[in-house]
Chain A
């Protein structure tokens, strides 16, 4: 180990490169620099073997492939191609399921939201949650009022 954390980090990084490349050679370890902390090396070896990549179910894969095909068909439509930034886009009925899965897709299609912009996505998601909360409150209030109006003795005709 050195006294410089950046040098230690660089030594560890080189070891990780070698360790990850060793998988192709079916080896479970790789040579390391003498300066590498043996505990860090062991932790890297354990993580390399433990953190496996996993695949979702076939059913999920095909369902999502179908949704993406629907969205692709919408994108290929001349109406969308002709629409400018911020234009209102008439989405076909089948696409409503996509908007239910992710309401932010509509703003992305309109060119109003960049999904790689963390702050913009966060703001849009918060606004969505707040709007959903207000809608739920309005519906709950309306339901309570309707129930009160139709219940004898509470405000309805008795």
Chain B
């Protein structure tokens, strides 16, 4: 009988390894007992709320949209199917992609319904006493307040798909593969979308810098 073999690299018999959803245990627990959905809710609350706030630019509207996203997700849990793909990477969560597809639809509807109402300043909404969820984000000190304001204004002026892609990349720190899953586009298309969005923001930041130079502003 052959003994155990240690240290020998065996060739995989499958073409690819299926990466498990990192939320699999939480999802299975919520399926068995819907009350356990609470753990998924607490884990993703700040992410969904932030996405809604950046999209809607209004604190109350973001809360309403966040509420609908989680109610819909819980109601639809029996329909959730894990579809992990190797290219999603070891940190990918298909539950997160699924949740953000619900968020994208919910927030898009809200944006359409609110189109005729005046938009609040995103800077004002973000500065309205909201706590920063992640201490690492305090790195905002690395840029000036003016630069941050200009970046937010430039971002709000972007077409919907570019703005959404930037929010998912920078605020939610999603991979290109995850964003592709949320927006229903190819990864290549998402990369081009983000690159164009960065180009537009860069142009706007350059314009603001030039304007300050012309005005003799010492910050330029």
Contacts of B150 in A (CB 8 A): 46
How far does the alpha carbon of A129 sit from the alpha carbon of B105 in the complex, in Å?
A: 16
How far does the alpha carbon of A117 sit from the alpha carbon of B72 in the complex, in Å?
A: 12
Known A50-B151, A60-B63; judge A9-B192 contact (CB<8 A): yes
Interface of B, helix, strand, loop or mixed by DSSP: helix
Question: Which of B33, B50, B64, B170 has the most chain A CB atoms closer than 10 A to its own CB?
Answer: B170
Q: Mark B19-51, 1 if CB is under 8 A from A, else 0.
A: 000000000000001110110011001110110
Q: Mark B119-154, 1 if CB is under 8 A from A, else 0.
A: 000000010001111101101111100011011100
Minimum CB distance partner of A15 in chain B: B198
Residue from B132, B142, B188 within 8 A of A54 (CB atoms)? B132
Q: Mark A34-46, 1 if CB is under 8 A from B, else 0.
A: 0001011011111
A136 within 8 A of B: no
How far does the alpha carbon of A127 sit from the alpha carbon of B33 in the complex, in Å?
A: 33
Q: Mark A43-77, 1 if CB is under 8 A from B, else 0.
A: 11111111111111000110011011101110110
A132 to chain B, nearest CB (A): 11
Q: Which chain A residues numbered 4 to 45 have a C-beta less than 8 Å away from chain B?
A: 5-6, 8-10, 12-13, 16-17, 20, 23-24, 26, 28, 37, 39-40, 42-45
Residue from A13, A16, A56, A118 within 8 A of B45 (CB atoms)? A56
A76-B63 in contact (CB<8A): no
Interface of A, helix, strand, loop or mixed by DSSP: helix
A106 to chain B, nearest CB (A): 8
Contacts of B105 in A (CB 8 A): 115-118, 121-122
Q: Mark A102-120, 1 if CB is under 8 A from B, else 0.
A: 1011001101001111100
Q: Which residues of B contact A (CB under 8 A)?
A: 33-35, 37-38, 41-42, 45-47, 49-50, 53-54, 62-64, 66-68, 70-77, 79, 98, 101-102, 104-106, 108-109, 113, 126, 130-134, 136-137, 139-143, 147-148, 150-152, 155, 166-167, 169-173, 175-176, 184, 188, 191-192, 194-195, 198-199, 201-203, 205-206
What 5 pairs between A and B have smallest CB-CB spacing? A72-B34, A43-B202, A50-B148, A9-B195, A9-B191
